[in-house]
Each structure stands twice: as C-alpha cells, then as structure tokens.
Amino acid sequence: YGKTQPFLAYFHRQRLEEATRPFSFTGKRVLDIGAGTGQLYEFLLEKEPAIDYYACDLSVEMKKHSRVPPERYFVGQATALHFPVDDFDLVFVLGVTTYLSRSENDRLLQWIVAHLRPGGQAVLSFTHRRSLDYQLRRLFRAFGWGRKDGRSLLLGQRFPISAFSLPEARTLMNDQFQVEGVAWLNQTIFPFNRLFPRWSIWLARRWRRPAPWASSDFLLFLSRQQ
C-alpha cells in the first residue's frame, strides 16, 4: 500500500505489530490463516529468520504474489486442508472473521482448538461493531453513499460483513478458549481516514490509551481451555 493507500498501510502494520507483540517465535510453529500476500510472514522474518511458518488462503493469486515458500503455502479453507504437520504453537487469523458467517467462524474455531499444541495460542482479529467508524459506515450506506450494488463500504470490498462487539466475540469462543487479552486497533474514523488519511493517522498515533469506541477493529489473544 504505502504511498498510494497510507490508511491501509498504517492499519495493517499496526495489526501485525499488536498481534505479534506478546510472543517469542524461536522454536515455534506458526500457522497463518488468510495469509494473503504474506505480510505476516515477511514481518516475522525480521524477528525470527528461521521461523517455522505455514500459510493458507483461498486465493491462488495471493499465493503467486507472496514470498512464502510454495511448499509452505496451501490454497483452500483451513478446515478442509491437510497440512504436513498436525499441530501448531501459534495460529494467526487476521482479517478473516469479518468475511465469514457465524457457522463458518464456529467451524474455524473448532478446527483451531483441535490443532493447537498444549500451551499454544491463537490470535484473531474482528471488525468492531460498536465502533464509531463502523456505525458511520452503516449510516453513510443507509443514505445511499457508496457502492451502487449496496454492499458494505468497509475497505471497499464486495463481500458481506460480519462485525462483533467484544462480548459477542467472547461468546463465539463457546468455552473452547480462554481469552488472555484484547488489543484495540485502528483509531482512524471513516470518512476522515479516506478523505484525510495522513492527518487521521497522525492523530491516531497520539492516542495514549486507545478507546474501544474509536477503534474499528480488535484482537483477541486466546489459549485453549484445559
């Protein structure tokens, strides 16, 4: 993204930094679900050049445009793939739950809990339904500002959106996971983050303690229930 889409570059970088901050990756086996072009992989290489990393995504094109070793990148739904290893220390699901239905999210969580090593953890991101950013997007859409096809304005995509409050995301866990922590992401607000992206980023970086209402997304850090 960089210069052409500074808002997205800021948001994705912040998400990577917060999602990986608590962990040491030495000797850890990592699975990246919804890996895209391999942003997490390249970010982790800076921390641990010998990272034991596996990726999956629905898109063949994403795989083609990534630098992930081809033998470590699998195309398809994680729940239907056969990886060459059985379990993982860390599973990252960044920017995925937003595009899944409730039943698909349930299946994914069941799969993750079955493939986490003892003591392993998962990190999932969610679109924050109670954020000012999300509510303004809904308002603009209700008044007809946006796509002619009536789809969501969130990041301009053509997919339906699943958004969650923090209590709703906790409910998804269904006693399978213990929530170890929460991180609030992206304190820029629509439509200002699109009209004035650099000013929005400048202001967002000055939040000392990010407020939930001002955060468009959040991360849950999860461990498997014993």
pLDDT in tens, 121-133: 999 999 999 999 9
pLDDT in tens, 134-175: 999 888 876 665 544 444 444 444 457 899 999 999 999 988
Q: Mean pLDDT across the stretch 71-85?
A: 97
Q: Predicted confidence band at 183 (pLDDT cuts at 50, 70, 90)?
A: very high
Residue 195 pLDDT = 84
The pTM of this model reads: 0.90
Q: Is 210 left (phi over 0), alpha (psi -120 to 50) or beta?
A: beta
For the domain spanning 6-224, the CATH number is 3.40.50.150
Q: Does 65 have pLDDT greater than 50?
A: yes
With pLDDT > 90 as the criterion, what percentage of the chain qualifies?
Answer: 71
